[in-house]
Amino acid sequence: MTTLATLAQINRQIDPINDILGLCQTVSQLIVQSLQLPDNVIYLKNNHNRLSQIAAAGGKFCANQGVVSPIELELGQGVVGMAALCQSSLCVADTNSFTHYVVDDAPRLSELAVPVCYQGELLGIIDAEHPQAGFFTIEQQYFVESVSAILAPRLVNLRSRQQSTSISPARTGSSTATYDTANTYCSQDEFSQLLQSCLKHFYQPAQWDQSRLSQLALLQPVTEVRAATAIQIESLKQHIYCCLQQMYQKPATALWAKILDERYISSRIGQIQLADQYHMSFSTFRRQQQQAQNCLQQSLWQLELQARDLRRG
């Protein structure tokens, strides 16, 4: 797939997302997938004029909590802070030679920080690191800059919507409430229905039955009420990604993983086109697709049961 086609696909995938956290999390995940990176982090500028890690993919993301050990940086601090201060991309080929390099979760030799700006206003930073020195190319930098240009107006639009609908976010109970659903877990049929909805509308979480998310032990614990749903959505997506990767690694299920991936996630190809692509009759393809969905659902259901046992334990 060409760079232009990849960017167009990213644009389509994030278009339906209507919350800032979900938008940033999806963008971060797509950057990692597109550039085959070990991790990626998106910082947003907060009310204190500092840069806060709000979304991540790869090693900095945990399915149950979002960004692992999130940090804040001052403008001018580290590669990220310098890129923000200058509002210009900064690509460091060897962080050992960068005096102000800041170690996050682990030291790495290459870092690329790209500002997210809109009409001269700094919104945040897209940051990627790699253990190999000199890893990032100018083409990769241009790619991330293009993603930044796609992201910026959406962030401004969503921020405006939030400000117009509420001065302060509504809270339920204390500011750090937790979910206690030990006695209200969904049934296996309800779980299957949710998974079918997630696959069908993978990049349109508004179409999911989100009321079921808090009934999954797999997605807990979650704090911070306002961010809970967005983190649960991304957590479930991550579990789906992991189960698909496991299916890819087994000869018996590799084809099923590819069908699900191309049908719902990476390409969203139509059933008739996929049937032709795999040289199957339409009815045969439909059976294979159903078997693939059943396999994925069983894998995820086993993870859900294990999570419930742990919570009861």
| 159 and 192 belong to one structural domain | no
1: its two tokens: 């797939």
User: Please, what is the Cα angle at 14 between 226 and 158, to 5 degrees?
Assistant: 45
Q: What is the total count of domains within the chain?
A: 2
Report the C-alpha gap between 204 and 208 in whole angstroms.
Answer: 7
User: Please, what is the Cα angle at 78 between 74 and 79, to 5 degrees?
Assistant: 120
- Can you tell me which residue has the tokens 């894998």? 299
Which mean pLDDT values do the consecutive 10-residue runs of the chain (313 residues) have?
Answer: 79 86 90 90 91 88 77 90 91 88 85 92 94 93 93 89 57 38 71 88 82 81 52 83 88 91 88 92 91 90 85 71
| 95 and 195 belong to one structural domain | no
Range of the domain at 79: 3-165
Q: Of 165, 198, 222, which closes a domain? A: 165
CB 21 within 8 A of CB 41: no
Report the C-alpha gap between 204 and 202 in whole angstroms.
Answer: 6
Strand partners, 194: none
CA 298, 300, 306, 312 torsion-angle sign: negative
Answer whether residue 172 is part of any domain: no
Q: Can you give the pLDDT at residue 172?
A: 39
| 157 and 222 belong to one structural domain | no
Q: Can you give the pLDDT at residue 127?
A: 95
Q: Can you give the pLDDT at residue 171?
A: 40
180: its two tokens: 């206690």
| 306 and 211 belong to one structural domain | yes
Determine the length of the chain.
313
| 195 and 161 belong to one structural domain | no
Q: Can you give the pLDDT at residue 169?
A: 44
Domain containing residue 51: CATH number: 3.30.450.40
Q: Of 165, 197, 215, which closes a domain? A: 165
Report the C-alpha gap between 92 and 313 in whole angstroms.
Answer: 47
Answer whether residue 34 is part of any domain: yes
The DSSP-derived string for 128-190 is EEESSTT---HHHHHHHHHHHHHHHHHHHHHHHHHHHH-SS---SSSTT-----TT-PPPHHH
CA dihedral angle for residue 158, residue 159, residue 162, residue 165, rounded to 10 degrees: -90
Answer whether residue 151 is part of any domain: yes
> How big is the chain by its Cα radius of gyration, in Å?
20
Q: pTM above the 0.85 mark? A: no
Report the C-alpha gap between 258 and 229 in whole angstroms.
Answer: 28
92: its two tokens: 């460091």
Answer whether residue 46 is part of any domain: yes
Q: Can you give the pLDDT at residue 309?
A: 82
Q: Can you give the pLDDT at residue 164?
A: 67
Answer whether residue 150 is part of any domain: yes
Q: Which residues of 90-106 are buried (b: 16+ CB within 10 A; e: fewer)?
A: bbbbebeeeeebeebee
Answer whether residue 110 is part of any domain: yes
| 15 and 150 belong to one structural domain | yes
- Beta pairing class for 121-130 and 90-92: unpaired
Q: Can you give the pLDDT at residue 255?
A: 93
Q: Can you give the pLDDT at residue 279?
A: 92
